[in-house]
Amino acid sequence: MCFGFIFPVALCISSVAGGVWVTIRNRKPAPHVVIIYLAVTSLGAGLVAWNHAAAITLGASLLVGFCLPLMATYFQLVLDELAPPNRRAEVFAMLRNANSIGIITISLTLTFWSLAVALTVGVILMLIATLAVIGAQVRGTKR
């Protein structure tokens, strides 16, 4: 019997738990906390890509799933603050397009190469996003 379904189920359940946490907490996290979420997600993605043991991969899936709604909520709130009222729909459409591009990139990688390559590309993209947010935070504090 194949138990591969356990990992996406864990990811989804922990994502719902992260969404519930956002609802219970009901406030926007500080930017440095979001950097921690990004770092935890990068670590989780790296552990999934490492593919060492099922328990480690399952735990990493739980970490990634929990952090996803926390970060999504934060970035949506920031975009809502930054978007001019007459461009709000455009800004959120761009956010959906950016998410879609990430999904398409990993799907194409998985189609043309192996799962290991797709996971590695995912980790690299996650690290790039984390470093970009850290860089923006550092530049923002210097102003």
Per-residue confidence in pLDDT tens, the chain, 143 aa: 567 788 889 989 999 999 999 999 999 988 889 999 999 999 999 998 887 888 898 999 999 999 999 999 998 999 999 999 999 999 999 999 988 998 898 889 889 998 888 889 889 989 998 999 899 888 877 66
> Which CATH architecture describes the domain 6-142?
Up-down Bundle (1.20)
Residue (of 94, 139, 102, 95) closest to 124 by Cα position: 102
Instruction: Spell out the domain ranges in the chain.
Output: 6-142
Contacts 24+ apart (CB under 8 A), 89-94: none
The DSSP output letter for 86 is G
pLDDT at 36: 94
For Cα atoms 126, 129, 132, give the angle at the middle one, nearest 5 degrees: 150
Helices (H), the chain: 6-25, 31-50, 54-82, 88-112, 115-142
